[in-house]
Amino acid sequence: MNFDWVYLNPFHETGYSGSLYAVRDPFRLDARFRDPDGGEDDAQLGRFVEEARKVGLRVMTDLVINHTARDAHLAEQQPELYRRDASGGIASPFAVDPNDPTLRTLWEDLAELDFEMPASRDALLAYWDRYVAGLQALGIAGFRCDAAYKVPAEAWRRLIGEAKTRQRDCLFAAETLGCTFDETKATADAGFDYLFNSFAWWDGAQSWALEQYETLRTVAPSIAFPENHDMARLAAGLDADDPDGVARALKGRYALAAAFSAGILMPIGYEWGFRRELHVVDTSPQDREETGVDISAFVGALNRLRAELPALNVEGAQWRLSAPDSPALALLRMDAGHPGAASHATLVLANLGASEQPIEASALLMRTGGAFAEFRDHTPGAPPIALAPGDTLALAAGEVRLFSASRAVAPKAAARSQPPGGEGRVIIENVWPELDGGRTPIKQVVGEVVEVWADIFTDGHEKFDAAIIYREAGEKAWRRAPMAFVDNDRWAGRFPRERNARYQYTIEAWRDPFATWLSEVEKKRAAGVDVRLETVEGLRIVETAASLAGNPDGEGLASLVASLKAAEEGSETQLALMLDPSHVALIERNAERLNVSRYGPELEVVADRLAARFSAWYELFPRSQSGEPNRHGTFDDVIRRMPYVKDLGFDVLYFTPIHPIGRTNRKGKNNTLKAQPDDVGSVYAIGAEEGGHTALHPELGSLEDFRRMVGEAHRHGLEIALDFAIQCSPDHPWIKEHPEWFNWRPDGSIKFAENPPKKYEDIVNVHFYRGALPSLWLELRDVVLFWAAQGVKIFRVDNPHTKPIPFWEWMIREVNDRHPDVLFLAEAFTRPKMMRKLAKVGFQQSYTYFTWRDTKADLIAYMTEIAASDMGEYYRPNFFANTPD
């Protein structure tokens, strides 16, 4: 079972009571333990030790020196070595009940030795040293010192010292259960290698066991035991008819004991689930039980594991990571007293409850302090489970898991390529408006000013200043707009947008030596302090400003410097010149800027024309404007409707698609699947023999007619908005010219548009990647540019949420770089995040959920969402009463 030691209770000749701990003659074997061959006692002990050595075990035995049997030979030969009671007779040892001091247990078969008197102490130490030396000579290398606290520490110090002189690695373990801390510490200081702890009585919930561990671990390492030879058997309290359940309980308790301290002791029979108590008088080989339980393989595996885990072999810090009232116990043991010094750690998880318990890994790992790498499961006989942040472990009733980890190794720091430059001394943070870390531009309209806010501060008491720097995209030079302190390190400034363009902006801040000088001088003068030296310093600041200034300020500063130098150095005349308000303003504009910081991201604002913010749209189908049921409408028919639309107060006349309509799988009236010969089909089935997205339906008119109609719209104060629907009929020229832009089925047929279970067989969709990138993207951009060249500057984009976001971001930027007045409206009825993202990547207007908000409360909540949140900086809502579909 991979134990290191075999520990024997006393095996010497006993007194009249027959108790193993009532030793009559420590130099003779008890008759119960002699081999039948009749060999000498020492020879028999020597053979036992040798057999143990052959299987890798060292032998330890009880060392009981505080008492003997009442009928011991020593009591007969040297009665003066014993303590006396009130009657003058040899005293018997006793124990006081810790819960009731009036109750005493007296062992009348024992006689207590007197280590207090110097004469008897010397004689006793000589006696016991001869005994220990004899056992050492036979190969016994360890001693469990029963009731060690009953013997003065000085006596132990001498006895242990002599034994270790003979054999350095001779081990002494003190049984000090029930002692005070001072008694235990004094005993341990006498040279003991181990102490026995009170784990066997711990329920896993109360704090005393961990407090005892922490108190004693710096005194001496300790030994835990799941049960002891003088206490009730653990198995006795379990259901004998459930041997599997007994085995699980014994395994769990042993695993917890083995992981609790540096040493583990297991009494014989524990591995088989024996139920009868070990009795110091009566227990014999005939008391062996048949229980159906055998956990010896588990014990062996666990002991082998203990030897491999450094944290379980020393008494470093041990922390409870679980709540005291939790049925799931979590203990972290380290191989040092602090995680900062630890190289290894063991995490013990134990379910002390009667039902399965969940354990949140994140909480446990957080409490380990982050000093250790991955914790790996080493539990014997169980498939390993992961312990990773976010995981929830399920421990069965009574289950114990053992994890270990080594110290986390910090990644090797990259060598610095250059010494620090000290940048960023003036702090700029919490800038507003800034969206997505500068990834998304804000949107305003021409003529407005952008108000920029930021937290700006620096170390010390120096004065500092800040400015917004901005420029139109494509410009090289930055323009500046001042910022001013508002409150609590919050600064604000404004800059205008004069053109329909994209602007870049950021913030610069710097330490201002002139402002600092000016503030100090004013305060000192008010307090009556001489400022002659400060006046000289001020001249240097003015000279620096003059060297930095260009015309026309340069000439004024040069003149000021000349006047200052003409005056007496440090005089009131010099100071008055520098404090003159006109000179102060001149110096401020050109003063040196120290420790200039620039906010990292260059932010953007798009200044659109007013129609991007507000416009009223009137939607119509041009083919329906003839006024006659049997005649297809034309652009001239649309022109005749324009005064009516304008009189209604609309700004935009929006057309559904006006391109040729496919004939294959054409839909009939009311969206029926079979069309009659005179049915015109769906305007969204774009493309036929006559052309595709840059062609006009022939019955509407020519391109010249279209241009004339656009001109008439402008004359009436209207704009034309076209529907940009990226989809094709099966007859679209692109299908033959660019088959790589489409999805094809295994049978060679083209894949129709679908929204399962619906299938739109008059429409096919393009594919934006694979062979379609970049050629399709360029073609679609050029479609928009074509219509922009015809005077169309507004596009209502059909279902943009079904096309890739990267395409829209690229395409809109490509168009707006050439035509900044072109506007795109996103017709996206989908999830809010997608609708917001479309606005962020460039759509100037966006459809909304307004149509489906019916109550006052609904409308208030929705308006608050799109106006009062950061959506107000980029999302321009378009409200509509209904749509044709």
Q: Kindly list the catalytic residues.
A: 798, 827
C-alpha dist (Å) from residue 452 to 236, 246, 440, 509, 602: 77, 72, 16, 14, 13
- Structure token digits, residue 134: 């004899």
- Structure token digits, residue 477: 């030079």
Amino acid identity of residue 517, one-letter, is: W
Q: Which of 786, 791, 784 is nearest to 724 (CA)?
A: 784
Rounded-to-integer distance, Cα 623 and Cα 700, Å: 7
Residue whose tokens read 């079904």: 802
Q: Which of 195, 192, 322 is nearest to 256 (CA)?
A: 322
Rounded-to-integer distance, Cα 53 and Cα 138, Å: 12
CB neighbours of residue 226 within 10 Å: 21
CB neighbours of residue 286 within 10 Å: 5
Rounded-to-integer distance, Cα 199 and Cα 211, Å: 11
C-alpha dist (Å) from residue 664 to 302, 406, 661, 678, 753: 76, 70, 9, 14, 14
Q: Regarding beta strands 617-620 and 719-724, do their DSSP bridges make them parallel or antiparallel, or are they unpaired? A: unpaired
Helix-strand-coil split of the chain, %, nearest 5 = 35, 25, 40
Rounded-to-integer distance, Cα 787 and Cα 794, Å: 10
Rounded-to-integer distance, Cα 840 and Cα 863, Å: 18
Q: Which of 790, 788, 619, 620 is nearest to 705 (CA)?
A: 790
Length of the chain: 885
Q: Which of 93, 97, 95 is nearest to 82 (CA)?
A: 93
CB 775 within 8 A of CB 698: no
Phi then psi for residue 70, to 5 deg, are: -60, -30
Rounded-to-integer distance, Cα 683 and Cα 762, Å: 10
Q: Regarding beta strands 344-351 and 328-334, do their DSSP bridges make them parallel or antiparallel, or are they unpaired? A: antiparallel
Eight-class DSSP state of 517: H
CB neighbours of residue 99 within 10 Å: 6
C-alpha dist (Å) from residue 135 to 145, 220, 448: 14, 25, 100
Rounded-to-integer distance, Cα 778 and Cα 360, Å: 52
Phi-psi domain of 557 (left: phi exceeds 0; alpha: psi -120 through 50; beta: other): alpha
SS3 457: strand
Rounded-to-integer distance, Cα 641 and Cα 790, Å: 20
Eight-class DSSP state of 530: -
E strand map for 199-327 = 222-224, 263-264, 318-320
- Structure token digits, residue 60: 């330890």
Rounded-to-integer distance, Cα 268 and Cα 277, Å: 11
Asked, as a colleague might, if the bond just before 433 is cis with ω within 30 of 0, I would say yes
Residue whose tokens read 């007496």: 568
Q: With 0-12 CB in 10 A as exposed, 13-18 as middle and 19+ as buried, what is 693?
A: buried
Asked, as a colleague might, if the bond just before 513 is cis with ω within 30 of 0, I would say no
Q: Which of 146, 170, 152 is nearest to 63 (CA)?
A: 146
Q: Which of 774, 845, 847 is nearest to 814 (CA)?
A: 774
